[in-house]
């Protein structure tokens, strides 16, 4: 059983880093993290094209890149990609994946809230499922604004993972009912164990968006950080349809009902 030893001199950011370092081991085995079909890959490509366009040699910065799923999508579209993560186990897998696929993606170890990259370096900054973990999102958004070139675009892909919809609550209760009687619905999911799930809940209760990262709240902070032309896109249905084949019925239903979104903003 894996646990995170939380010492008294560790702050919340240390706990987040330790959590994702452990999660690296199984990250690519989980639907919703890695991509498991060309159909899903095409749906992600369509989302990126809709908001940031084809790369054509432009520079892209994938923040909290993890095992580089998004980095590869951007590379597919012709971007010159830099991926940054602060968990070395994630970066090890990212580098190995890029080598296997023959991709020339640049990887850096660093903090997405303080990248230490030069001003005006990137045409596009992208992150997926990062915003909900931020301790100081306004400072992070100001940092992302700083590293963008004038006219550059930010694409945030995230969701509210705190407040379940009615559909999600019903699905969760039914799943608990099935589990109580030793039944499973569909294929098993390689999610975190009970101990890591508890760590996740503990972290989630203490980050800035502890009450849920609603799109409107994120957009308001982006405007405060200096971004303009902030557009909220909640149409993630094409991606969810392709992912559904890799989830059991109830998990797929729950996921499709969540408040998930993409937010595009300009400098």
Q: What is the DSSP string of 99-130?
A: HHHT---EEEE-BTTB--PPTT-EEEEEEES-
- CATH superfamily of this structure's domain 12-266: Vaccinia Virus protein VP39 (3.40.50.150)
Written as tens digits, the pLDDT of the chain (267 aa) is 344 444 443 588 888 888 878 887 888 787 778 999 999 999 999 999 999 999 999 999 999 999 999 999 999 999 999 999 999 999 999 999 999 999 999 999 999 999 999 999 999 999 999 999 999 999 999 999 999 999 999 999 999 988 866 656 666 666 666 566 655 544 444 455 667 778 878 888 889 999 999 999 999 999 999 999 999 999 999 998 898 887 766 666 666 667 899 999 999
What sign has the CA pseudo-torsion 258, 2, 66, 137?
positive
Q: Whole-prediction pTM value?
A: 0.84
Q: Check residue 185 and give left, alpha or beta (phi > 0: left; psi -120 to 50: alpha).
A: beta
Count of alpha carbons within 13 angstroms of residue 33, beta-carbon side:
21
Neighbours of 55 (CB within 10 A): 20
What's the pLDDT at 167? 58
What's the pLDDT at 23? 85
What's the pLDDT at 205? 84
Taking a C-beta distance cutoff of 8 angstroms, is the pair 98, 107 a contact?
A: yes
Domain boundaries, the chain: 12-266
What's the pLDDT at 14? 85
How far apart are alpha carbons 72 and 45 in whole angstroms? 10
What's the pLDDT at 171? 61
**DSSP 3-state assignment of 35?**
coil
**Residue 34 has what DSSP assignment?**
B
């Amino acid at each position: 059983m894996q646990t995170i030893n939380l010492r008294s001199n560790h702050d919340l950011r240390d706990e987040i880093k330790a959590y994702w370092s452990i999660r690296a081991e199984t990250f690519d085995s989980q639907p919703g993290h890695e991509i498991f079909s060309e159909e899903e890959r095409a749906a992600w490509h369509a989302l990126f094209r809709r908001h940031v366009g084809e790369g054509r040699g432009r520079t892209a910065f994938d923040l909290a890149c993890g095992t580089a799923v998004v980095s590869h999508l951007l590379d597919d579209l012709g971007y010159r990609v830099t991926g940054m993560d602060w968990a070395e186990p994630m970066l090890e897998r990212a580098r190995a994946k890029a080598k296997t696929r023959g991709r020339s993606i640049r990887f850096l170890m660093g903090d997405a809230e303080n990248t230490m990259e030069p001003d005006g370096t990137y045409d596009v900054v992208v992150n997926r499922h990062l915003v909900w973990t931020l301790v100081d999102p306004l400072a992070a958004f100001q940092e992302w604004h700083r590293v963008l070139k004038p006219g550059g675009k930010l694409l945030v892909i995230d969701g509210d993972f705190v407040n379940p919809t009615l559909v999600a609550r019903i699905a969760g209760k039914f799943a608990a009912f099935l589990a109580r009687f030793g039944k499973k619905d569909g294929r098993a999911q390689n999610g975190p164990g009970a101990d890591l799930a508890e760590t996740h809940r503990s972290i989630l209760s203490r980050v800035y968006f502890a009450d849920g990262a609603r799109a409107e709240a994120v957009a308001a902070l982006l405007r405060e950080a200096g971004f303009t032309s902030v557009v909220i896109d909640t149409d993630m249905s094409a991606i969810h349809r392709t992912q559904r084949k890799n989830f059991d019925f109830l998990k797929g239903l729950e996921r499709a009902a969540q408040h998930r979104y993409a937010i595009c903003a300009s400098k």
